[in-house]
């Protein structure tokens, strides 16, 4: 409890982390209340008001089909943040399971898992995800599958290294001497001691995954029209970049602000969980 209070206090003193947390909290509220706070139906067509500039009735203007950009941006948060959250949860669970298994049991199991990790790390994440999503076909589900397949390896490597260090501690030997099973030792004694770097990595990866989802959707592999996802909105606004720049400006700003918020919070968590990293950075 004292350690948790210390972490919270450290975060409170980090203005960027607090700013990031407030932005994320605001976005979470928007995601929950999106259908109630969006002023218009995000997929309703109004061809008479197509490509309207921002005004009193449409604060962010309308797109080429007369749909309200503000409503689509608000509802798009549900898809962008929701998809990123699902992907992060999946890669965390998969990475923790594979990394713990490799680090705790070692031997042949460790060799097989880590060679698979090495193969996947040999390719840039976004390129490999692009190939997988292209093979599976364009859809939100396939984009999440593609990103989950390529993203878990970083978690597995970090967890494995931490497990190798922790499993040699005296309290682990004591647990074995008491007759505790391997699964009990891994879940009860090892995992709680190796999760800190994973939490930091997951927070930072939220921004990267949001960018990757937007990139794949921009290329036509993710959300399909009329779904109001930020990357899809950028793609739909691209032909009108000169005549109606607001179609790309507002979803682009939302992506930028969201990614920055998670990066700020992730940096703050990293410094709070391991203050030595901040001291090294200053030096």
Q: Which two tokens stand for residue 75?
A: 């509802």
Q: What are the tens digits of pLDDT across the range 173-221?
A: 788 888 778 778 888 888 888 888 888 889 889 999 999 999 999 998 9
At 190 the pLDDT is: 84
Mean pLDDT of 108-114: 91
Give yes or no for a contact between 234 and 80, defined as CB atoms under 8 angstroms apart: no
At 280 the pLDDT is: 43
pLDDT beyond 90 at 73: yes
Which of 269, 277, 262 is CA-nearest to residue 211?
A: 262
Give yes or no for a contact between 176 and 168, defined as CB atoms under 8 angstroms apart: no
At 236 the pLDDT is: 92
Distances (CA, A) of 160 to 112, 128, 199: 13, 23, 15
Mean pLDDT of 110-122: 90
At 176 the pLDDT is: 80
At 234 the pLDDT is: 93
Q: Which two tokens stand for residue 122?
A: 């040999």
At 5 the pLDDT is: 66
Give yes or no for a contact between 148 and 87, defined as CB atoms under 8 angstroms apart: yes
At 283 the pLDDT is: 42
Q: What is the H or E stretch that residue 138 is in?
A: none
6: pLDDT confidence band, cut at 50, 70 and 90? low
pLDDT beyond 60 at 68: yes
One-character DSSP codes across 185-199: IIIIIIGGGT-HHHH
At 277 the pLDDT is: 45
1: pLDDT confidence band, cut at 50, 70 and 90? low
Q: What are the tens digits of pLDDT across the range 209-260?
A: 999 999 999 998 988 888 889 999 999 999 998 899 999 999 999 999 999 9
Q: What are the tens digits of pLDDT across the range 129-141?
A: 999 999 999 988 9
At 188 the pLDDT is: 82
Burial class for 278, CB neighbours closer than 10 Å (0-12, 13-18, 19+) = middle
Q: Where are the alpha helices (DSSP H) in the chain?
A: 2-13, 15-37, 69-105, 107-121, 125-136, 140-166, 170-177, 182-184, 196-218, 230-237, 246-273, 275-282
CA 188 to chain centre: 27
Report how far residue 281's alpha carbon sits from residue 16's, in angstroms, rounded to the nearest whole number.
Answer: 16
Report how far residue 175's alpha carbon sits from residue 89's, in angstroms, rounded to the nearest whole number.
Answer: 29
Mean pLDDT of 57-67: 91
Q: What are the tens digits of pLDDT across the range 15-45?
A: 888 999 999 999 999 999 998 999 999 998 9
């Amino acid at each position: 409890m004292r350690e948790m209070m210390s972490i919270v206090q450290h975060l409170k003193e980090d203005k960027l982390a607090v700013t990031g947390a407030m932005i994320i909290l605001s976005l979470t509220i928007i995601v929950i209340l999106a259908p109630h706070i969006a002023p218009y139906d995000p997929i309703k067509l109004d061809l008479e008001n197509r490509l309207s500039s921002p005004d009193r009735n449409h604060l962010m203007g309308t797109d080429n089909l007369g749909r309200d950009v503000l409503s689509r941006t608000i509802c798009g948060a549900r898809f962008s943040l929701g998809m990123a959250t699902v992907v992060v949860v999946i890669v965390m669970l998969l990475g923790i399971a594979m990394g713990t298994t490799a680090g705790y049991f070692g031997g042949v199991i460790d060799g097989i898992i880590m060679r698979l990790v090495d193969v996947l790390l040999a390719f840039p994440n976004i390129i490999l995800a692009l190939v997988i999503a292209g093979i599976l076909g364009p859809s939100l589900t396939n984009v999440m599958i593609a990103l989950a397949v390529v993203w878990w390896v970083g978690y597995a490597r970090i967890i494995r290294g931490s497990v190798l260090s922790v499993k040699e501690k005296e309290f682990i030997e004591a647990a074995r001497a008491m007759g505790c099973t391997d699964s009990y030792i891994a879940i009860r004694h090892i995992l709680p001691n190796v999760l800190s770097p994973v939490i930091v990595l997951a927070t930072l990866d939220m921004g990267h995954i949001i960018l990757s989802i937007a990139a794949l959707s921009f290329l036509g592999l993710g959300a399909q029209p009329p779904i109001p996802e930020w990357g899809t909105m950028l793609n739909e606004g691209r032909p009108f970049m000169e005549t109606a720049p607001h179609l790309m400006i507002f979803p682009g700003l939302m992506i930028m602000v969201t990614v920055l918020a998670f990066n700020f919070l992730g940096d703050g968590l990293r410094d709070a969980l391991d203050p030595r990293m901040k001291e090294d950075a200053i030096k």
